[in-house]
Amino acid sequence: MYLAEDKAKASTVQPADGHCADTVDLMTAATAPGGKWQTFPNSHISHHGAACCDIAHEWLIAFDYAQLNGGDVLTGPRWMREHSKWGPTAWPIHWCEAVDADVVDCGVHAAIAQEAFVARGVPAFRAQFIQRYSADATASWRENWDKESVSDHWIDGDAIYHEGNAVLVGTDEVKLWDGSAGWWINPRGEMGYGSLAAVRIEADLEGFEDGLRWGERRIKLNQWVAV
């Protein structure tokens, strides 16, 4: 995950740094649905301002369309998970790096999927999730992220912060796409391992003052909503 405010100072960030320059207090208790991620911004991929990133971005849009294979434009960009596995990403990351990387985190997957959906003409919004796992799972991920010297601030106890997309499928109905998993999140709201504890959809309120419908729920925009 990469913080929006860092995009502005991307040129000053050394890619070798390997850690997110976040301003979130990692020790904040998860008292709200968002917990320590209460004000956490969505990840944004940086642009070198050069041909390398232009080429990568153009390739992404054309490649996604090619992969649609004649299918419905609402088909999730499942190809992303095949193209780049889920794993640690050192932030900041630029388009030319993100699109060509073998391993990327959910922030990259979500940022790429967002570009793909929008280029297809599908209204889509960035979405943030908090998911329940287990101590074993989060310990394992913490170890993997540590090995790559990448910040593991997305892990908090048995919970994790995750990113995806909310894709508009009706006038005010969305489906939630988890690009790192390659599936649509089940809106039935099961509890337990891997389940969704909270969601925040970042979108312009205009036209959606009552939020967006996801399954049986209505999700208020730009705020964490417990599931």
Partner 1 sequence: MKIYVSGLYAGGNPQPGVGIVRSLRQGYPDATIVGVEYSNRVSGIHFDELDELWIQRPWGELDLDAYGDKVCEALDAGGLWISGSDLEAMWLASVFPDGHPNLLAPPMSGIKRITKPVVEAASSLPIKIPTYLSTEHSDWDLHAFCREHNWRVWLKGPYYDASRTPTWDTFTAVRNALSKVWSTEKLFLQAHVSGYEESVMLSAYRGELLGAVSMRKRDITPEGKTWAGDVSEVPLAFMEPLRQMVRDTNWTGGGELEMVRDGSDQLWLIEMNPRFPAWVHGSTIAGHNLPALLVQAASGVVAKTVPAEASEFTRIVLEVPVRPDYPLPPLPEPFAGAVGHSMKHPSGLTALAARLHKIDPDMLDVAMAPDGTEPPNGLAELPDTFVADIGRQDFDAMQTPQYIYMESTAESLFKRADDRAHRLSTNDVEVISGYSIKTNPDKRLIKLALDHGFYAEAISLGEVQSALEVGFRPDQVILNGPGKWWPEGLMPRETMHAVFCDSIADLDRVVAAVAAGEMSAKHIGIRIRTPNITSRFGIPLDSPTTFAKLIAAVKRLPTDSAFGVHFHMASSHVGVAQWWHLFESMLRWCQSIEKLSGRTIEMLDMGGGWYPDDWHEDQISKIARAVERVRTMLPAVRQIASEPGKAMAQPSMALAMRILEIQEHEDDYVEAVVDASIAEIPMHFWQPHRMVRKCSETGELQPIGRGKTHLMGRLCMEHDIIASNVQLPEGTRAGDLLIFCDAGGYDRSMSYVFGRG
Instruction: State the residues that interact with partner 1 by CB under 8 A.
Output: 51-52, 54-56, 58-63, 65-75, 96, 99-100, 169, 186, 188, 190
CA atoms within 13 A on the CB side of 190: 7
* Minimum CB distance to partner 1, residue 65 (Å): 5
Contact criterion met (CB below 8 Å) for 94 and 45: yes
* Minimum CB distance to partner 1, residue 29 (Å): 32
Residue 155 vs 196, nearer CB to partner 1 = 196
Residue 24 vs 181, nearer CB to partner 1 = 181
Cα-based angle 118, 123, 125 (whole degrees, multiple of 5): 85
* Minimum CB distance to partner 1, residue 109 (Å): 16
Residue 169 vs 225, nearer CB to partner 1 = 169
- Write the DSSP symbol of residue 49: S
* Minimum CB distance to partner 1, residue 82 (Å): 11
CB proximity list for 195: less than 8 A, separation 6 or greater: 131, 132, 189, 227
Residue 20 vs 227, nearer CB to partner 1 = 227
* Minimum CB distance to partner 1, residue 99 (Å): 5
Rounded Cα gap, residues 76 and 83, in angstroms: 14
42 closest CA partner among 197, 163, 125, 174: 163
Cα 186 to Cα 68, 159, 168, 169: the distances in Å are: 22, 18, 15, 15
Residue 34 vs 92, nearer CB to partner 1 = 92
Residue 72 vs 206, nearer CB to partner 1 = 72
Rounded Cα gap, residues 211 and 48, in angstroms: 35
* Minimum CB distance to partner 1, residue 204 (Å): 24
Handedness of CA 20, 21, 25, 31 (dihedral sign): negative
